């Protein structure tokens, strides 16, 4: 790795892109979520007349000029509703393969620690980046790192040798933090119902949001819990403080975001193993975890137990993400269960989230149970009429149950 100034890096990237076979629209793959190397990425993009910028769950601070096409397999608030959005449908576990094929990178820009013993760490965001770097190395693309002394040092696949990176730019910049709001009443009810089904020694997919936070609040008395997830936030730190986690088992994840306290805890913590997406989101690997419990959410669930978590009308809202990976993996785990957790009534749209039949493309199906503040509708192993009955009577809002029964009869489910 050659350490250069920001101005030198900008010039070298521009020269490299001008000489590539895709010089008209070079593809730049970068860290997403809350680890985007904005201080480096902004000047780099400004120097490129056109580019395709690939980032997962992009946040709102991304510097996108008129020549940049936002490209992603999971739409975040920074790309959502963008008129030039290029959405590539793909399960998260399969995204790394795209970089070795149709989405080959010309430049990879990552956010890393400063060097230590001939290595750097990707810190809070591993995700699909190792695959992007591997693909870049194979095809002579350029790998550039924003070297930030504030980035926590994490282990596992986060650790890279310096020769995996071409250019390093030292940037001392504060990390983006996230402070979750306390769960609302509906979320607390849902979380309590899910938590009641989790026993000692279970493995959790501990994501971010009101329901996962509320669920964690309900399992603080459990013991020997394990973590296998694509991401975690401060809820895992809460479990650690409560003594609920199995101290002999590493906490496996692919990216982290949350409070500064969380970042300080993961820094140099060998129990936290940051793994590539190909590993964390592999349904086969997920299925090997004991009593794997996944908790996902959706915009709608229909009477056939099909969930739409990706689209509002015809407009893409997010994407598959890891929902399909963890739904399948948890369903195959011994003693595992894939929970679909959502409010029975959408507060903004003012409509029922339990619907007769989803109109949009399906994100996932065959869940273990659908959970709302109304109750638990058990799905797996029930025939389709029993599934519909459980959804209407135990998950749907009481004000729409009569209408849902009428629709169920028309669909042959009653």
**What residues contact 242, with CB distance under 8 A and at least 6 apart?**
220, 221
d(CA 308, CA 311): 7
Element (H, E) at 273: strand 272-274
d(CA 2, CA 145): 10
Answer for the pair 110, 37: CB distance below 8 angstroms, yes or no: yes
d(CA 176, CA 153): 16
Structure-token pair, residue 336 = 């595992």
Comparing CA positions, the residue from 34, 36, 44 lying closest to residue 111 is 36
What DSSP letter does each residue of 346-389 carry, written as one string?
ETTTTEESEESS--SPP-EE--SEEEETTEEEE-TTS-HHHHHH
| Strand 306-308 to 300-302 pairing | antiparallel
d(CA 59, CA 43): 17
Comparing CA positions, the residue from 13, 369, 33, 3 lying closest to residue 233 is 33
Q: What is the largest CA-CA distance in the chain?
A: 69
Element (H, E) at 307: strand 306-308
Q: Is 230 a catalytic residue?
A: yes
d(CA 77, CA 98): 22
State the angle between helix axes of 234-242 and 210-217 in degrees (0 to 180), rounded to the nearest 10: 0
| Strand 364-365 to 306-308 pairing | antiparallel
- The catalytically annotated residue of 230, 278, 373, 407 is 230
d(CA 221, CA 201): 12
Just list the catalytic residues.
230
């Amino acid at each position: 790795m050659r350490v250069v100034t920001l101005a030198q890096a900008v010039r070298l990237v521009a020269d490299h892109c001008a000489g590539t076979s895709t010089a008209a629209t070079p593809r730049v793959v970068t860290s997403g979520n809350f680890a985007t190397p904005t201080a480096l990425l902004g000047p780099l993009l400004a120097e490129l007349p056109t580019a395709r910028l690939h980032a997962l769950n992009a946040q709102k601070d991304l510097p996108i000029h008129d020549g940049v096409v936002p490209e992603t397999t999971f739409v975040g608030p920074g790309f959502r509703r963008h008129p030039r959005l290029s959405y590539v449908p793909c399960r998260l576990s399969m995204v790394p393969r795209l970089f070795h094929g149709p989405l080959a990178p010309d430049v990879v820009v990552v956010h890393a620690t400063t060097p230590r013993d001939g290595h750097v760490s990707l810190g809070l965001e591993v995700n699909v980046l190792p695959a992007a770097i591997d693909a870049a190395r194979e095809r002579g693309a350029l790998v550039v790192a924003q070297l930030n002394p504030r980035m926590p040092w994490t282990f596992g696949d986060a650790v890279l040798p310096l020769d995996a990176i071409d250019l390093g730019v030292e940037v001392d910049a504060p990390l983006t933090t996230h402070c979750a709001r306390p769960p609302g009443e509906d979320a607390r009810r849902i979380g309590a119902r899910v938590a009641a089904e989790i026993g000692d020694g279970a493995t959790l997919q501990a994501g971010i949001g009101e329901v996962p936070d509320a669920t964690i609040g309900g399992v603080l008395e459990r013991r020997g819990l394990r973590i296998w997830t694509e991401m975690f936030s401060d809820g895992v730190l809460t479990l650690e403080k409560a003594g609920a986690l199995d101290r002999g088992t590493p906490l496996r994840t692919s990216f982290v975001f949350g409070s500064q306290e969380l970042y300080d805890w993961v820094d140099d913590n060998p129990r936290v193993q940051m793994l590539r997406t190909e590993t964390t989101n592999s349904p086969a690997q997920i299925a090997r975890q004991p009593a794997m419990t996944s908790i996902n959410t959706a915009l709608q669930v229909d009477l056939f137990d099909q969930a739409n978590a990706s689209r509002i009308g015809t407009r893409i809202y997010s994407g598959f993400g890891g929902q399909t990976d963890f739904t399948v993996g948890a369903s195959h785990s011994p003693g595992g269960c894939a929970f679909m957790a959502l409010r029975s009534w959408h507060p903004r749209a003012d409509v029922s989230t339990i619907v007769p039949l989803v109109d949009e493309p399906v994100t996932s199906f065959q869940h273990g149970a659908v959970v709302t503040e109304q109750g638990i509708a058990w799905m797996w192993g029930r025939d389709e009429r029993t599934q519909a009955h459980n959804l209407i009577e135990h998950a749907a809002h009481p004000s729409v149950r009569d209408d849902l029964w009428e629709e169920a009869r028309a669909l042959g489910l009653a």
